[in-house]
Amino acid sequence: MDILAYLIDVVLHLDRHLVELIRDYGAWVYLILFLIIFAETGLVVTPFLPGDSLLFVAGTLAAAGGMDIGLLILLLCVAAILGDSVNYAIGKHVGDRMVKSGRFVRQEHVDRTHAFYEKYGGKTIVIARFVPIVRTFAPFVAGIGAMTYSKFLAFNVIGAVAWIASLVYAGYLFGNIPWVKDNLTLIVVAIVVVSLLPAASTFLKERRGRARG
C-alpha cells in the first residue's frame, strides 16, 4: 500500500517531483525522463507509468527554465520511437507465449488493443499514443500480428513526434499562466481522466457486447 500511495502521489504531484529531480540530479533528469518514456512505451509490464501528464509537466518546467525545450522534445521523441520498436520486436518474437502464460500480459489489455486495430487499422499506432495502456500494447499487438515493420515504423515516428511535441509544447506554452500554475494538480488529474476515456469507452462497449451475447 505504501508503494501504491507513493505512485499516486507521484502522478498527482509530478511538478514537485520533477523539480526535486532537477534539483538533485541536474542534467541527468533528461536521462530519467528518457527512461520513463522508453519503459512506458517499450515494456508491456509497465503501462502504469505516467505519460501524457509527465510530458505536460515537463513542458511547464522547461518554460520555467528548468530544461531546454528543444533537447527535451528531441530526446523524448527518440525514447518513444525506440520504445515502440522494442515493444514491436517483443511482440513479434515472444508475444504469443507471454499472452498464453498470463503471467506478464493481461489478455483483456491485448483484446482492448485488438479492438482499436479493428476500428482504426494501422493508424492505431498513431492514435494509441494518446491513450494510456493502449499506447503500451499497440506496438506489442502489431508485432504479434506481424505488421510490416516499414509500415509500423512510419506510423511509429509520426505518432511519437505528434504525441511528444503536442503535450510538451502545451505545457511550455500554458504552464506559466498563473491559473495553470495554481491548479496544476487539478490539470494533471484532468489529463489522466480525459486520456483514459477512449479506453474506458471501448472497455464498456466490450462488456455490453458480451452481456448481449
pLDDT of residue 94: 81
Least confident residue range of 53-57, 116-120, 154-158, 195-199: 195-199
Degrees, nearest 5: CA angle 124-130-132: 95
State residue 113 phi and psi, 5-degree precision: -70, -35
pTM of the model: 0.80
**Exposed, middle or buried, 101 (CB in 10 Å: 0-12/13-18/19+)?**
exposed
